[in-house]
Amino acid sequence: MKIIKKNRFLLSSSTPTSDQILTGVSIIPVTMSGIVVIFDFDKTIIDVDSDNWVVDELGATDLFNELLPTMPWNSLMARMMEELHLQGKTIEDIKQVLHHVPIHPRVVPAIKAAYALGCDLRVVSDANTFFIETILKHLGIRECFSEINTNPGFVDDEGKLRILPFHDHGCNLCPPNMCKGKIIERIQGEGKKRMIYLGDGAGDFCPSTKLVEGDYMMPRKDFPVWKLICESRDLVKADVREWNDGEDMECILLQLMASMISIKEMENCVDNNDTNQLLDCKLERIALGALA
């Protein structure tokens, strides 16, 4: 179900911070509903891999490492949930571990600011619905996302967490359970939208090749997708903006969203044909364009 966005604002004179947007300091109302911001989850929204975090925190690392060479990751996680259940670990145990997952303090404000500005936020992740939903709800940002694309994860009648593959596909760049590139193509098919994609892993390379001119790819520096893009830069048509941590992410994301506001949107912000306000909007447009 589509989430209705509220409080779409932009500061004049400079790119707003997340805190300024969220406290209502901004004065120019604009719509950014034509911008889709797509987040990977593990090591992008949170600072760790959620699968590894649960396995390690619940004491199943040795078995995980033993089985890792024998099966695909998605199948391995399904097996690990069975093993944890047999060891007496409950769904509540898993939830409590997920509630303590590490996250950079600027990531949540950045997400809330993008939502407040009216962007359409979505998750595309090779984790699972149970882990992602549990963490996002605990952080108070589940409502910021209109869509979560990930492997199904649900609690069965025995109280065991079951994890299934997202879909079959024929892409040789992606793991057998999910092609993020196909998800991007589906979103592109919804209509003319501009995208900002944030990710870190090798699975984020395929979707980066689906982005078009006018889009932005934000790979986490020194992570697998960044290295793949550096090796095959000609395959990525989007403008590439690397980031290091949550503070970097917040700053760059806000700058990119600001730069993507069109002339038409800025001029539409003026009420009652106020000449002075129109001038302010045009000056703002010029200032934001310089950030691109």
Which residues are catalytically annotated? 40, 42
DSSP-derived secondary structure for 91-121:
HHHHHHHHTT----TTHHHHHHHHHHTT-EE
Query: Among residues 162, 159, 164, 163, which one has the least CA distance to residue 88?
Result: 159
Q: How far apart are alpha carbons 10 and 202 in whole angstroms?
A: 34
Q: How far apart are alpha carbons 214 and 2 in whole angstroms?
A: 24
Q: What angle, 0 to 180 degrees and rounded to 10, lies between the N-to-C axes of helices 246-259 and 107-116?
A: 20
Which amino acid is present at 290?
A
Query: Is the distance from CB of 48 to CB of 134 less than 8 angstroms?
Result: no
Alpha helices of 18-122 — where are they, by DSSP H? 18-22, 50-57, 61-67, 73-86, 91-98, 107-116
Q: How far apart are alpha carbons 162 and 288 in whole angstroms?
A: 47
Sign of the dihedral defined by the CA atoms of residues 45, 50, 54, 59, in that order = negative
Which amino acid is present at 283?
L
Q: How many CA atoms lie within 13 A of 269 on its CB side?
A: 27
Q: How far apart are alpha carbons 13 and 38 in whole angstroms?
A: 27
Q: How far apart are alpha carbons 289 and 256 in whole angstroms?
A: 10
